[in-house]
Structure 1
């Protein structure tokens, strides 16, 4: 892993108590950044915050649904209050709801879009207002998915939200460039997390259909995020980086689906 220096940088990462989000926070803090960690699970959030602080990292927690506008304001306000500014936002939080299109329920659609779209859109908006106020520029990262590129069984609604985030990154890259704000997305493929590793067949199934024969880890995704937050990526904006071991090049679905 390349070791970046994010001394004096301040970030918000949503959905960050476990999995990809937690790895992003760990890497940011180990590189010198101060991080506002958000999650909806109070126990997991407390555990994550304790681990980061025990490792010498600087972080503060904001409990709440990342799709809630009040929670979004609390995150930005806490970043500024605790650390004096805001530099990075990683809208990592997202939920997945499986379901056939014909039977998909409106309440499931509202729950899905409130987090995946509303939360990401308005967190980016709140952060942008702070970036402009500071006149310092900034970085915004949206978490997409390979399902925003390739059709996947029973994930029409989810895939739609992820494709929308990639279009949002492209649109905002133009609108926010005059303010020295870059906006990009990362689209993970199959990734080993606490949730996916609870499925005994997950790793073997995805290794079999991934060209590299390797399932991504949370570090693979986090490494990409940190690159996009670094000065090395200053000319990259409006883009989506797919991290999937080549799966979207061939796109075979898992056998069980």
Structure 2
């Protein structure tokens, strides 16, 4: 992959105000893409765009709820209006709610389902419509999780949605391959982000539990996303890449 692999490409990245989404958006922009960042938090989003553009890159922002179907269409339309087309979509926005299964509230389940599944489904649909119209193929990447493969206490709802995204990617092979649109997923394991680092023991705990001896970084996940978004992955679709330092091979719990 060259330094300008994504020159002339236009990408949307949701959940891009910080963490994994921000890093993916940044790396796409640094490698030549025009990137439309989305996040519900306007303040985080503004800071993210300012930081990326300060590195001689080209990106812009559209704040809004990535679970809202009306807004999703606005997001796709905005990318086309600003940059002329849409080639890459990284559906990264998601919510993690920890709760014991026996006490799980109905409204919490609805929130997780709406953003993680409905939002991703309709972003893929609306983006694919645009890609089909362009007749030049495209790349769609969903953000899954190792909790879609291995059970994790208090994350039953979250894990269910992530497993669902991997099945959605497989199903879309049937629908979208004829248009040269690939759909894949990435399943990060324990990853150091602004949110996870709020837990003082997170880094050390997961360094001990991960066979590679450290928790993942946002750069680790972004590397996988850039590969799946690049021309190098043209024959890969309906697949999932696990980025967890080997954790899911042995699956020790945090205690």
Q: TM-score range by the shorter chain?
A: over 0.9
Give matches, 1:118-133, under 5 Å.
118-133=118-133
Q: Which segment is superposed worse, 58-67 or 7-16?
A: 58-67
SS at match of 2:62: strand
Q: Distance in 2 between matches of 1:43 and 1:231?
A: 33
Post-superposition offset of 1:3: 3.9
Unpaired runs of 5+ in structure 2? none
Post-superposition offset of 1:20: 0.3
Q: Distance in 2 between matches of 1:103 and 1:170?
A: 32
Post-superposition offset of 1:196: 1.1
Post-superposition offset of 1:197: 1.4
Aligned to 1:93: 93
Q: Distance in 2 between matches of 1:221 and 1:168?
A: 20
Contact 1:62 1:74 in 2 (8 A): no
Q: Distance in 2 between matches of 1:5 and 1:184?
A: 19
Aligned to 1:220: 220
Aligned to 1:37: 37
- The two structures have a TM-score, normalised by structure 2, of 0.98
Q: Does 1:236 align with 2:228?
A: no
Aligned to 2:192: 192
Aligned to 2:61: 61
Aligned to 2:23: 23
Contact 1:117 1:161 in 2 (8 A): yes
Q: Distance in 1 between matches of 2:167 and 2:223?
A: 23
Aligned to 2:206: 206
Contact 1:182 1:236 in 2 (8 A): yes
Contact 1:4 1:230 in 2 (8 A): no
Q: Distance in 1 between matches of 2:109 and 2:21?
A: 23
Post-superposition offset of 1:174: 2.1
Deviations 1:3-47 (A, max 9, x none): 451000000000001000000011000000001100000110111
Aligned to 2:46: 46
Give matches, 1:116-195, under 5 Å.
116-195=116-195
Post-superposition offset of 1:57: 1.3
Post-superposition offset of 1:2: 6.6
Contact 1:174 1:238 in 2 (8 A): no
Contact 1:90 1:140 in 2 (8 A): yes
Q: Distance in 1 between matches of 2:209 and 2:186?
A: 21
SS at match of 1:35: strand
Deviations 1:42-87 (A, max 9, x none): 1101111111111111111111110011221111011100000000
Q: Which segment is superposed worse, 144-153 or 66-75?
A: 66-75
Show structure 1 runs of 4+ deviating over 2 A: 1-4
Q: Distance in 1 between matches of 2:206 and 2:155?
A: 17
Size of the alignment, in residue pairs?
A: 255
CA separation of 1:119 and 1:101: change in aligned 2, threshold 3 A: same
Q: Distance in 1 between matches of 2:79 and 2:31?
A: 18
Unpaired runs of 5+ in structure 1? none
- The two structures have a TM-score, normalised by structure 1, of 0.97
